[in-house]
Amino acid sequence: MAVDIGKFIKAPEYNVTIVTYRDVFQSAVCEEDRLSSEYQDLSAVIILDAAQMKHMGIVEGSNVRLTSKHGSVVVKTRASQQEEQKNIGFMVNSPWSNALVSIDTSDGFPGYKHIEVTIAVSKDEITSQR
Amino acid sequence: MSDITTWICTGCALLCEDIQVYAANGQIEKVEHACMMGKARVTGCKHTAKPMVDHTEVTIDKAISKAVHILKNADNPVLYGWGNSTSQAQIAGIELARVLNAVIDSTSSFCQGITINEILQGHMPSCTLEEVREKADVILYWGADPMSSHPRHLSKYSYFPRGDMRQHGYEEDRKAIAIDVRQSRTAKICKDMFYRIPPGSDLEFMKALLDALDGKVPKLSFDMDIKRLLELATLLKQCEFGVIFAGLGLVYSIKEDIQILSGLISKLNELSNFSLIPMVGHFNMRGFNHNLFNETGYIHSVKFTDKGPLSGVEYSIIEQLKGNADAMLIIGSDPLASLPGALLEQIENIPLILIDPCENLTTRAADVTIPCKASGIEEGGTAYRMDGEIIELSPFIQSNGMSDEMIIQRIIKEID
């Protein structure tokens, strides 16, 4: 029987800072039905610089695991249509980005805007809403 | 035959007053002039909330009685949400917090509260959106992307209209500038007036801009042509009516140094004429700050005590959920979706009462769900627009349910 050696090899991890933002299409779906698969499709996504994705060995549309000190989620990747700053990923505000957010603050502001994570290619399914 | 109603949109804090809704037999057939978010708001959610206790459908009276029981038996209840409620419901909520000696807070404690406080304390000049439309020649979107968050902002007020003093419109009379870490939809419209900065470097950029306004040679640790910064300073100095629209990107970057933003506005007003408007999200988030300020002198994170109201970061929703909260009344919000995942266990481990027109993620964890009418659609009242103007909301759908204000008033009555 052939052994899939690949599954024992840990995918390389890279450090990325996630910047969160708002998206009008996702906000509209959020109004209609935030429990829908469409909401997940528009939310559980990280956008990266195309050249950096190539360097990381990440194929557009593939799943990646994002892990911070505070949580871990699997989301889909998308290449930015423009050149982006290196080591920056963009996620729309949603339960998927919020799962990674730090509350180790003392000013009442969670770390919503800039989230330090590692990113690695993943064969796992997109994390579902609780 | 459709009835046509002119509706004030509650999709965001722009409160657009020109939405045309065509309805027949209580069903909405067509919506004109609204953005995607506004249209979705007026059309309504797919899953409306039902009165529930412990995930079993009950009468609304039983749900309210259970909520009263939870609140009366809590030592440190927290009342949270309020941005999607009318001012009348917010004022009732403040009274409920007083009756319970509870903590009351909204998203503004980790959002635009910091800028609204500066305006209410008189440290920062602001202006109305109508003034922006009629007069503004320089519009600076800083850490803000209204094309995504408030889709009619540019077309209705800030950039595209031909105002009284800006008859040549955006083609000649207005300059739009974006300072952001990403080329947002708004930044694309600003074209060569987009200043891309690294995440978290707003403070450094602001200090460099202040140097440039002072005639000094600015320095930056990141890659940007200093000539562009000097050009920006010149443009800001020469403007007749300038406005900064402050987004959360800016707020989060300078929250420990908010006085430098006030300092920038002061410096600009020595040289030209500048105001600031915070990019408030929920339709009456600013109203919560104004109404709480009027009642207590504080704008958020308030704890009522027998000796009067207290305010401080320890009474913010985030700090309360880390520590003291032993029950939570949530109104018009979905904390399981919008608060950090690291807090979800704490939220789920305390009794939750949810008042909302719609089912959401928090419904799944709520011990009590009380459905309410949709504010501004099924129930009237007033709200504060993002610039602080008070707007009257008129309902256009008749329904038999209770408004959030009525529910809060009932809870107060049953607690007494």
- Interface subset of B 132-191, CB within 8 angstroms of A: 145, 147-149, 151, 181-185
Is B162 in the same domain as B272?
yes
Task: Render pLDDT for B158-194 as a digit per residue (tens, 0 to 9).
Answer: 999 999 999 999 999 999 999 999 999 999 999 999 9
pLDDT bin (cut points 50, 70, 90) of residue B76 is very high
Contacts of B200 in chain A (CB under 8 A): 114
What is the share, in percent, of chain B residues with pLDDT greater than 70? 100
The structural domain count of chain B equals 3
CATH classification of the domain holding B63 = 3.40.50.740
Mutate to test the interface with B, among A87, A96, A113 (most CBs of B within 10 A): A113
Which of B206, B207, B237, B212 minimizes the C-alpha distance to B227? Answer: B212
Among B227, B253, B278, the domain boundary falls at: B278
Q: What is the pLDDT of residue A4?
A: 65
Q: What is the pLDDT of residue A8?
A: 64
Neighbours of B299 (CB within 10 A): 25
Task: Render pLDDT for B216-258 as a digit per residue (tens, 0 to 9).
Answer: 999 999 999 999 999 999 999 999 999 999 999 999 999 999 9
| Structural domain range at position B218 | 113-278
Task: Render pLDDT for A12-66 as a digit per residue (tens, 0 to 9).
Answer: 999 999 999 999 999 999 999 988 999 999 999 999 999 999 999 999 999 999 9
- Segment B56-84 shows an average pLDDT of 98
Whether pLDDT at B360 is above 90: yes
**At A47, which amino acid appears?**
I
What predicted TM-score, i.e. pTM, was given to this entire model?
A: 0.95
Among B278, B305, B331, the domain boundary falls at: B278
Is B127 in the same domain as B264?
yes
> Which of B46, B183, B184 lies at the smallest CB-CB distance from A33?
B46
Is B169 in the same domain as B255?
yes
Is B173 in the same domain as B256?
yes
Question: Can you list the domains of chain A with their CATH numbers?
Answer: 13-121 (2.40.40.20)
Contacts of B301 in chain A (CB under 8 A): 108
Q: What is the pLDDT of residue A129?
A: 80
Is B153 in the same domain as B87?
no
- Regarding predicted confidence, which is higher, A130 or B369? B369
Contacts of A95 in chain B (CB under 8 A): 336-338, 341, 361
Cα distance between residue B160 and residue B173, in whole Å:
10
**Residue B122 class from Cβ within 10 Å (0-12 exposed, 13-18 middle, 19+ buried)?**
exposed
Q: How far is A10 from chain B (nearest CA, A)?
A: 26
DSSP B41: H
Task: Render pLDDT for B277-299 as a digit per residue (tens, 0 to 9).
Answer: 999 999 999 999 999 999 999 99
Q: What is the pLDDT of residue B116?
A: 97
Is B209 in the same domain as B168?
yes
Is B168 in the same domain as B226?
yes
CATH classification of the domain holding B248 = 3.40.228.10
Cα distance between residue B49 and residue B65, in whole Å:
17
Which of B190, B188, B173, B178 minimizes the C-alpha distance to B136? Answer: B173
Cα distance between residue A94 and residue A42, in whole Å:
9
pLDDT bin (cut points 50, 70, 90) of residue B202 is very high
- Interface subset of B 69-128, CB within 8 angstroms of A: 109-110
- Segment B109-134 shows an average pLDDT of 97
Cβ atoms A26, A94 nearer than 8 A: yes
pLDDT bin (cut points 50, 70, 90) of residue B156 is very high
Cα distance between residue B232 and residue B293, in whole Å:
36
Contacts of A130 in chain B (CB under 8 A): 336, 344, 361, 364
- Regarding predicted confidence, which is higher, B119 or A1? B119
Q: Which residues contact B227 (CB under 8 A, 6 or more apart)?
A: none
Is B123 in the same domain as B223?
yes
Is B265 in the same domain as B293?
no
Q: What is the pLDDT of residue B27?
A: 83
Contacts of B47 in chain A (CB under 8 A): 33, 35
Sheet containing strand B77-81, edge to edge, reads: B56-57, B52-53, B368-371, B352-356, B327-331, B77-81, B103-105, B302-305, B308-311
Hey, is the C-beta of B339 within 8 angstroms of any chain A C-beta?
yes
Whether pLDDT at A73 is above 70: yes
- Regarding predicted confidence, which is higher, A8 or B321? B321
Is B251 in the same domain as B300?
no
Contacts of B39 in chain A (CB under 8 A): 28
Q: What is the pLDDT of residue B398?
A: 83
State the pairing for strand pair B242-246/B308-311: unpaired
Virtual torsion, Cα B86, B89, B95, B101, nearest 10 deg: -90
User: What's the whole-number average pLDDT of chain A?
Assistant: 92
Cα distance between residue B366 and residue B52, in whole Å:
9
Is B32 in the same domain as B161?
no
Query: Do residue A106 and residue B313 have CB atoms under 8 angstroms apart?
Result: yes
- Segment B14-25 shows an average pLDDT of 93
Among B278, B301, B334, the domain boundary falls at: B278
Is B52 in the same domain as B27?
no
Task: Render pLDDT for B25-53 as a digit per residue (tens, 0 to 9).
Answer: 878 899 999 999 999 999 989 999 999 99
What is the share, in percent, of chain B residues with pLDDT greater than 90? 94
pLDDT bin (cut points 50, 70, 90) of residue A130 is low
Whether pLDDT at A1 is above 60: no
How many CB pairs below 8 A link A and B?
131
User: What's the whole-number average pLDDT of chain B?
Assistant: 96
Whether pLDDT at B1 is above 80: no
pLDDT bin (cut points 50, 70, 90) of residue B413 is very high
